[in-house]
Chain A
Amino acid sequence: MTRIDAKFADLRAQGKKAFVAYVMAGDPDYDTSLELVKGLPGAGVDVIELGMPFTDPMADGPTIQLAGQRALAAGQTLQKTLDMAAEFRKGDDTTPIVMMGYYNPIYNRGVARFLDDARAAGIDGLIVVDLPPEEDEELCIPAAKAGLNFIRLATPTTDNKRLPKVLENTSGFVYYVSITGITGSAEAEAADVAPEVARIKSQTDLPVIVGFGINSPEKAEAIAGVADGCVVGSAIVGELAKGRPVNEVLNFVAGLSGGAHRA
């Protein structure tokens, strides 16, 4: 049982929806980013998605593209992202951390070495955008063997015929992408999302968390209301990009988590 499984069991017992926050590791610099990550649980974040910066984030809109560029310009590397997680773990042994990004930096490090290092750093799960089920033997299966959850994205284009394949090796939770598009673009609509979540839940007992297109406490409440929780990324990253101090960004996050937890 990973920290992710434990967290969702706990939320379920409390009858609460999950609030998941995405931040880009190293944006705008290592120290600020670490301070922000450390503050997330206090702002009501149940699961932290720690973005691994990559030069070519093909599924991301401008907000997260720029965050990645800022992080890389400030010297962020995969090693530093692992260091950041380990540093966070020293003060928090329960909040799950999911590393999210693209495959090449992991492949470049070597899958076995990466998985060892990720476990040692207290990472609980992985979301790797460019690894569909067709490439499961690359990382998904080795990660499961190493005791890490591999969280798969399901999308509006994942039809019923394909859904079992997507769910097959997924663990932790299912991340439903609410729109066809990139991060931070269109807004998610609860009326569109509800039947899709129901469709996925008819085929799995895993929690279904909805992300993409959620940018306000009201939207978080509406979307979390039709799922097991929601993810906010670009809106938080965007606040940081405005130059807001960490405590103000955390206030913004607290507003979002409040929305999700009201659902």
Chain B
Amino acid sequence: MSNDLFNSFMTGPDEKGRFGDFGGRFVSETLMPLILSLEEHYEAAKTDPSFWAEMDDLWTHYVGRPSPLYYAARMTEHFGGAKIYLKRDELNHTGAHKINNVLGQILLARRMGKKRIIAETGAGQHGVATATVCAKFGLKCVVYMGAHDVERQAPNVFRMRLLGAEVVPVTSGRGTLKDAMNDALRDWVTNVHDTFYCIGTVAGPHPYPAMVRDFQSVIGKEVRWQLAEQEGEGRLPDTVIAAIGGGSNAMGLFFPFLDDKSVNIIGVEAGGKGVNAKMEHCASLTGGRPGVLHGNRTYLLQDDDGQILEGFSISAGLDYPGIGPEHSWLHDTGRAEYVSITDAEALEAFQLSCALEGIIPALEPCHALAHVAKIAPNLPADHILVMNMCGRGDKDIYTVARHLGFDMEGAPEGR
């Protein structure tokens, strides 16, 4: 990679919401004024110290930030190579990184005077985070969730309902995250005056990819000072690695390191049953090509006619045929490397994390961990690898039990 690439990777997107050729504002005219208004309010909030002071206060006292940066000693010893740190975002309130972004968007919605919040969710983590913050602020919350995901993530559906949210099962398409996003957009186009659409990942029309990244960047910013505290002033990670569905936890970890040339950046996509011609995976970058969906141009799983394909993954949170546009750009510029991990490899990593570190992880970060398992043994002992443990596994125990052939009496029927 040539040095001139490193002028800066942190200035995007441009005024049209583009990261190179990716991103943009591919929405219907009805939504366009709403998106411009959102951008205007976000730009104002971004430079308003009182906005960030409120965020910091809630991150500290409501979410429990900073999340620990944990040296995984037994895992390090087990792999016998790189020194492994886990960024413990699974310890956040609501059990994942999703709430970092939700808090930012809900504070913005309050500033804009919006009283009704809609969201899409796959695994349910973003839906739970949105329902949680809406409950805290007394806002009406409607969560669109694919009917298939409603079934396989029953505990999160119940949590959202306990928190007062209306969960709408989406039956169009195959009933997963993509279809939930379609229906959320249809709701927004219908309820333009009072509704704020709280997108859960670094995708969608500008300004969402940049805004969600900015809110999630708290992850990488913490890693910078936490690692310096533990490893000495100025010490940066040698590799940062995270799982990618839409890519928000990864963007949050990666972004503060984009201009640090020495830091390797690796995103791990869901390889499902394997990235092959049968398309039984969700690896948009390794198995897709550029297209336009949900307001942005990015890598997508699609057929020869430009019809969008359904992804396939054991992890509902990664089950999306697209990826955030900034990842597409980082992929094409070569600044970040993207790989894929299969369901079977992720399940193996799940068990390893439980056994070696006493951490029951969500299936999403297990994909990142499975890639750590592949590369760590071949790296030297002074190579510091930071992986984002972006969610905990409570929601996945039924899925994992079923795959491991463990009969849980009274468990909801899964597929």
Interface residues of A (CB under 8 A from B): 54-59, 61-62, 65, 72, 77-79, 102-109, 129-135, 152-159, 162, 166, 177, 180-182, 185
Interface of B (DSSP majority class): mixed
Q: List 10 A-B contacts (CB under 8 A).
A: A56-B173, A59-B28, A61-B186, A107-B291, A107-B292, A132-B26, A132-B27, A133-B32, A181-B189, A182-B189
A158 to B407, CA, bound (A): 56
The list of the 3 closest CB pairs from A to B, nearest first, reads A108-B306, A105-B306, A181-B190
Contact B24 A55 (CB under 8 A): no
Contact B302 A108 (CB under 8 A): yes
Contact A157 B30 (CB under 8 A): yes
Contact B306 A132 (CB under 8 A): no
Asked, given contacts A55-B173, A106-B306, whether A182 binds B29 with beta carbons under 8 Å apart, the answer is no
> Nearest A residue to B172 by beta-carbon distance?
A65
A130 to chain B, nearest CB (A): 5
A237 to chain B, nearest CB (A): 16
Contact of A129 among B28, B34, B172, B190 (CB under 8 A): B28
- The number of residues on chain B lying at the interface, defined by a beta carbon within 8 Å of a beta carbon of chain A, is 34
- CB contacts (< 8 Å) of B33 on chain A: these are 157-159, 162
- B182 contacts A by Cβ under 8 Å: yes
Contact B172 A72 (CB under 8 A): no
> Count the A-B residue pairs with Cβ separation under 8 angstroms: how many?
108
- B25 contacts A by Cβ under 8 Å: yes
Contact A130 B305 (CB under 8 A): no
Interface of A (DSSP majority class): loop
Contact A59 B293 (CB under 8 A): no
B246 to chain A, nearest CB (A): 15
* A129, A152, A166: most-surrounded residue (chain B CB, <10 A): A129
Q: Give the contacts of B291-346 with A (CB-CB under 8 A).
A: 291-295, 297, 300, 302, 305-308
Contact B192 A180 (CB under 8 A): yes
Contact B295 A130 (CB under 8 A): yes
- CB contacts (< 8 Å) of B281 on chain A: these are none
- CB contacts (< 8 Å) of A79 on chain B: these are 305
- B371 contacts A by Cβ under 8 Å: no
